[in-house]
Amino acid sequence: MPCLVLSAADDETRKITLGHPLLHDYLVFVAARARTSTWLAVAYDLKVFFEVVGKEPAVVSAADVFAFLSAQRAPRRGERVVRLEDGEAGLAARTIARRLSSVRGLYGYLCAREDTGVRRNPVPASLAARRPGARRGRGGVPLIRTPRTLPRVLAPAEVDALRAALRTHRDRAMVDAMVLGGLRRCEVLGLRLEDLSAGERRLFVAEGKGGRQRVVPVSARFFAAVGAYLESERPPAAATRQVFVVLKGARRGEPLSAAGLDEILGGARSRAGLAHATCHQLRHTCFTRLREAGMALEAIQAQAGHASIESTRLYLHLASGWLEEEYLRAAEAIEAQAALPAGEAGR
């Protein structure tokens, strides 16, 4: 059975192994091209898969993959207990889909090597569609249907309450970077001093999702908060170039971690009496408000760092005012056309 072993130094993960040479080689490959969080997620997904399947990688079949799917979808808290989100009793569909993606990636790597005994990927991309002559792959039926749910966004009053509950300029600057600039959590923590351009009110995101870089404008409110933090709170002796560092304790002056930012946000959320306020919800809130204010989808795509415009179209649904205005405009045109005499309607 695979055993997940982590090796860390200076609070940073340096090595992950699962006790199998082929899995180890793949994790080394993943580590060279993905963030630590992705690396850890892939390692854990593979650990779970091979614990359930109980076979060597080279002899895993499609039947084993379907058996794994069944095990993941088995009820976790009784047959009659389901999630409201997707009506499922087992693991969330997104979690299962991610685990299948990790396994599919492993076998894609093993097939490409041609020296592992693996000749085909046992994880189907999809099942054949029901229409005659349809092929597997694009247009087929996915193994897991993930619900397309809209994310939560914060109302303006909730954002104000959350910001008022923050205790330092540093914390307000980090929240402003997400709610005003739309930065991801990892992008906020990855900001370096040289990435700030206060005169132009811009930020340089050096390590965005997928390794994509971008320059984004951010409101003056962010730069006011980060300026106050740098002037009065950031330890002068901090050796790192990261903007946001720990302010107290044994790690004072060291880069702030993702867990540290989540703890800060959780405390402020509790003090503000909010049920929901995560880093990603702040990001969604930013782009929803920008869309409601009339910002073009292409501009929001550039601000967000989305590789595809399809990811950005989500904010058309969240910005309910836009949909209402478009509907009313179309409905008025239809009603005006219907009100015309029969002879004039076709002119």
Residues annotated as catalytic are: 184, 209, 280, 283, 306, 315
Burial class of residue 99 in the structure, from the number of CB atoms within 10 Å of its CB (0-12 exposed, 13-18 middle, 19+ buried): buried
Could you tell me whether strands 214-217 and 202-205 are parallel, antiparallel, or unpaired per DSSP bridges?
A: antiparallel
Beta bridge partners of 204: 215
Q: Which of 39, 100, 20 is nearest to 65 (CA)?
A: 100
CA distance 280 to 223: 21
Give the tokens for residue 155: 């109302």
Picking from 53, 2, 278, the residue whose alpha carbon sits closest to that of residue 162 is 278
Amino acid at position 83, single letter? R
Q: Are 229 and 170 in contact (CB under 8 A)?
A: yes
Give the DSSP per-residue string, 222-244.
HHHHHHHHHHHTS-TT----BS-
* Gyration radius (Cα) of the chain, Å: 25
CB 196 within 8 A of CB 226: yes
Angle between helical axes of 169-179 and 220-232 (0-180°, round to 10): 160
Q: How far apart are alpha carbons 304 and 205 in whole angstroms? A: 11
Instruction: Please answer whether residues 298 and 309 qualify as being in contact, where contact means their C-beta atoms are separated by less than 8 angstroms.
Output: yes
